[in-house]
Structure 1
Amino acid sequence: MNNQSQVTREDDVKLTPLAMAVLELLLEQPMHPYEMAQVMRARHVEARANVKPGSLYHAVERLETHGFIEVVDTQREGRRPERTVYGVTEAGRDAFIARAKAMVGSIAPEYPEFAVGLSALNELDREDALAELRTRALKLQAEAAAEQVIVDSLIAKPLPALYWLDLRFTAARREFELAWTNQLIEDIITGRVDWVPAECEDEA
């Protein structure tokens, strides 16, 4: 067994969200990276993957290295640089399906910074903590409003809901976090959550 086969098989379950987004597009039709970026932008893929030019090209290169995609054509328009068109391989299709199943059916460990910040909240001054929570709530409100505009636009289109479940999930999660943060602010203000500074714990 050669090293290439080992790397490819091990990588089957380690496809990143961006790599999954690339494979998803190529399962529809062959594309060059610039076209991928345009379609991802139009579909708001940035809500679930880190879509930046550098990271996108790196993901494409990595997928090709592992045999999940391959060059199917090259295009040139006028004096523009030649563009390489990629298509998904059978191995890429299998890896995509396997990873999608794992992502849907498994609970992957995540380490959100907000949870870490909440664990250290009692180290802050009460008013500073409230100020930061209010700032977060305002930002969440703005993001939730922007996502709702996207959701409303998709609802208005004759597009099956199955195609944009990821956006519905993201919007719902944002609404939940906003409601939870606002409730925490209210609980601290009203005393339902007792404010016990860290120095008081030390004295106890």
Structure 2
Amino acid sequence: MARKRKVANLMGLAVLSAVVVKPMHRYEIAAQLRAWGKDNDMGVKWGSLYTVVDNLAKHGFLEIAGSERDGARPERTIYRITDAGRAELTDWTRELIADPEPEKRRFMAGLSVASVLPPDEVVELLTQRITKLDRTIAENRTQLAALDGTVPRLFLIEEDYELAMLAAESEWARALRDSLADGSFPDVEGWRAWHRDGVMPADIAEPAEGGADTPQSQHD
């Protein structure tokens, strides 16, 4: 189970990963994170950067190393990582890599209530999703190919993972779409009849009504 962290926002991890390289002020941190693509990897919200840096400093993960002034611009505070910050960075990274945590995804939520739509409409919606996924996969592969030889592979591991996950989702969605379209999906005809006639077939209704008797509830 993931441990409770003093700064739980993934922006905190991103900031620590930047400042561990060298002391930086907030503008440098933001520029470095953008250059690394961390806004894509971690869903970084730039508006929270100031608050996250302040919280990291408050909890002893960062400390002020000095300040600098560039012309007429306001003075900028430079932060460096502390020993506690290094420990937090490495521990957090280990947890994220080693400990799988269930993630509630929008797609999963949609699938869980897909029965409210006719199966033929679900086929069309899945086709739209597959088209968008395949477009994203192609774009990501092109971007990775452009970086080949210019960025060490070590810093592209997360991009490889993202590609693998997108490809797996596209393959799974395609298999579901095709099974609905060709009628091989179990109960698809009953599902279709339900939306055509407005009456849920008994073989679907009975398991749905017994849904409260789940493995989890049996253990309660």
TM-score, reference length from structure 2: 0.79
Q: Show the counterpart of 2:152.
A: 160
Q: What amino acid is aligned across from residue 68 of structure 2 in structure 1?
A: Q
Q: Show the counterpart of 1:68.
A: 61
Q: Is the 8 A contact 1:26 1:88 kept in 2?
A: yes
Q: Deviations over 1:136-164 (max 9, x none)?
A: 2222122222221221122232x432222
Name the SS for the 2:177 alignment partner. Answer: helix
Q: Is the 8 A contact 1:68 1:91 kept in 2?
A: yes
Shift of 1:55: 2.0
Q: What amino acid is aligned across from residue 11 of structure 1 in structure 2?
A: R
Question: Which stretches of structure 1, 4 residues or more, deviate above 4 A after TM superposition?
Answer: none
Name the SS for the 1:11 alignment partner. Answer: coil
Greater relative contact order (Cα < 8 A, sep 6+): 1
Q: Deviations over 1:55-113 (max 9, x none)?
A: 22222122111110112122222222222221111100011111111111111121112
Q: Show the counterpart of 1:192.
A: 184
Q: What amino acid is aligned across from residue 162 of structure 1 in structure 2?
A: L
Q: Show the counterpart of 2:10.
A: 17
Extract unaligned runs of 5+ from structure 1. 1-8
Distance 2:31 2:104 in 1: 30
Alignment counterpart, residue 143 of structure 1, candidates 132, 136, 142: 136
Q: What amino acid is aligned across from residue 118 of structure 1 in structure 2?
A: L
Name the SS for the 1:167 alignment partner. Answer: helix
- Alpha-carbon spacing, 1:142–1:85, altered in 2? closer, same or farther (3 Å): farther
Percent pairwise identity: 29
Alignment counterpart, residue 47 of structure 2, candidates 47, 54, 64: 54
Distance 1:73 1:142 in 2: 46
Q: Show the counterpart of 1:5.
A: none
TM-score, reference length from structure 1: 0.85
Query: Greater CA radius of gyration, 1 or 2?
Result: 2
Distance 1:83 1:146 in 2: 37
Distance 2:49 2:184 in 1: 47
Equivalent residues, number: 194
Q: Is the 8 A contact 1:47 1:170 kept in 2?
A: no
Please provide the CA RMSD for this pair: 2.2
